[in-house]
C-alpha cells in the first residue's frame, strides 16, 4: 500500500508526517520503525500522525524511531504546527493553530522565521540527584517537559560519539529512572543567556541533532541551577539556535514557550505493504 508522507525538520531533528484523519493508514511498530529507518525507509528521528481529535482540534500522535509511542516531542510539535497550518488548519489570519497531544493541548504560532509552541506544564522536578555510574558519581537534575529528561552540567562538547552514547545509555537505562527510562541532556553555559546542549534520546537510542523537549528541560534547569533568566538561547548539535521563554512562581513554571526553525524538506510516497 502506497502512502503519502511529508518529511520535515526542526533544528536538525527530523520527522515523517502522515495525515490519517480518514483512518486509512494502519500502523504498527514494525511499519513505524521501517519508515524511520535511514537505510531501508525514509529515515527520521520520529513519526508524527494527524488524527481526528475533538470537534474543533486535531490530535498529534508521536512515535519514536523504534516504533514506541511517546507523549510529546517539542521539535515534532513545532513541525506539526507548521504542517497543520499549511493544510489550512487553524486561524489563518493570526497564523495560529491548536492541537491535542498525549501530554496536553498545544498552541503554535507560525512565521517565516520559525514556529513557537506552548510546552505542557513541566512536572516531576527533582534537583541535585546523586547518580553513581560504576566508580563515578554524577549530580543530575530531573524534569518532565512532556516526556522525562535528565540534565547534567559539564563540558561535553568534545566527547566522542562512542563515549557519548555509552554515557547517555548508562543514564537512560539507570535503575533510578526505571521503568520508563529517561532522555539525557549534557549542558554547558557559553554566554550570559546562552547554553549548549547534546541530547541522548530514548527511542532513538543515540544522539540527535536537536531535541525540543530536551532544550526546554535544559533551559529550565539552567534557570534553577545557574540563575539564568528568560529567554534562554540554546545551541544544539546541528548548529541551530532555539529559545525558551518562561515565567516562574516558586518552583512551578508557567507559560513555557519553545521557539525555533521548522521546515518542510520533501514530500513523497512509500509502499508500507
Annotation-wise, does 74 bind a ligand? yes
Cα angle 15, 17, 22 (rounded to 5 degrees) comes to: 160
Annotation-wise, does 104 bind a ligand? no
Neighbour tally for 11: CB within 10 Å: 29
36 is catalytic: no
Phi and psi at residue 22, to the nearest 5°: -95, 5
Query: Cell for 118?
Result: 506552548
Total number of residues shown for the chain = 273
Q: From the candidates 79, 115, 211, 242, which is the catalytic residue?
A: 211
User: Please, are residues 83 and 90 in contact by the beta-carbon 8 Å criterion?
Assistant: no
Query: Cell for 102?
Result: 498525549
- Cell 546562552 belongs to 194
Tell me the CA distances in angstroms from 113 to 212, 230, 261, one per residue in order: 17, 20, 6
Question: Among positive and negative, which fits the CA dihedral 140, 171, 151, 191?
Answer: positive
Distance in angstroms (rounded) separating the CA atoms of residues 106 and 120: 7
Q: From the candidates 18, 73, 140, 147, which is the catalytic residue?
A: 73
Annotation-wise, does 213 bind a ligand? yes
Annotation-wise, does 134 bind a ligand? no
Distance in angstroms (rounded) separating the CA atoms of residues 169 and 33: 20
* Core vs surface per residue 233-259: b (16+ CB within 10 A) or e: bbbbbbebbbbbbbeeeeeebeebbbb
Annotation-wise, does 222 bind a ligand? no
What residue numbers does the annotated binding site for substrate cover? 13, 64, 74-75, 183, 201-202, 212-213
Q: Give catalytic residues, as residue numbers.
A: 73, 211
What residue numbers does the annotated binding site cover? 13, 64, 74-75, 183, 201-202, 212-213
Amino acid at each position: 500500500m502506497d502512502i503519502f508522507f511529508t518529511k520535515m525538520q526542526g533544528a536538525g531533528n527530523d520527522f515523517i508526517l502522515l495525515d490519517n484523519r480518514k483512518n486509512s493508514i494502519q500502523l504498527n511498530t514494525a511499519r513505524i520503525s521501517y519508515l524511520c529507518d535511514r537505510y531501508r525507509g525514509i529515515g527520521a528521528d520520529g513519526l508524527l500522525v494527524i488524527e481526528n481529535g475533538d470537534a474543533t482540534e486535531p490530535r498529534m500522535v508521536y512515535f519514536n524511531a523504534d516504533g514506541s509511542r511517546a507523549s510529546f516531542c517539542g521539535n515534532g510539535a513545532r513541525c506539526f504546527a507548521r504542517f497543520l497550518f499549511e493544510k489550512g488548519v487553524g486561524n489563518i489570519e493570526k497564523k495560529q493553530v491548536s492541537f491535542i497531544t498525549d501530554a496536553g493541548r498545544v498552541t503554535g504560532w507560525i512565521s517565516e522565521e520559525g514556529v513557537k509552541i506552548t510546552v505542557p506544564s513541566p512536572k516531576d522536578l527533582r534537583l541535585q540527584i546523586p547518580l553513581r555510574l560504576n566508580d563515578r558519581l554524577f549530580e543530575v537534575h530531573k524534569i518532565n517537559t512532556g516526556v522525562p529528561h535528565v540534565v547534567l552540567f559539564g563540558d561535553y562538547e568534545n566527547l566522542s560519539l562512542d563515549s557519548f552514547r555509552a554515557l547517555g545509555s548508562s543514564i537512560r537505562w539507570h535503575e533510578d529512572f526505571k521503568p520508563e527510562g529517561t532522555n539525557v541532556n549534557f549542558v554547558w553555559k557559553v554566554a550570559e543567556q546562552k547554553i549548549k546542549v547534546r541530547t541522548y534520546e530514548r527511542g532513538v537510542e543515540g544522539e540527535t541533532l536537536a531535541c525540543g523537549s530536551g532544550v526546554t528541560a535544559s533551559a529550565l534547569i539552567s534557570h534553577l541551577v545557574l540563575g539564568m533568566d528568560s529567554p534562554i538561547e540554546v545551541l544544539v548539535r546541528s548548529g541551530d539556535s532555539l529559545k525558551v521563554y518562561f515565567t516562574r512562581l516558586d518552583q512551578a513554571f508557567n507559560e513555557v514557550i519553545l521557539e525555533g526553525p521548522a521546515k518542510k524538506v520533501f514530500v513523497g510516497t512509500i509502499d508500507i505493504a
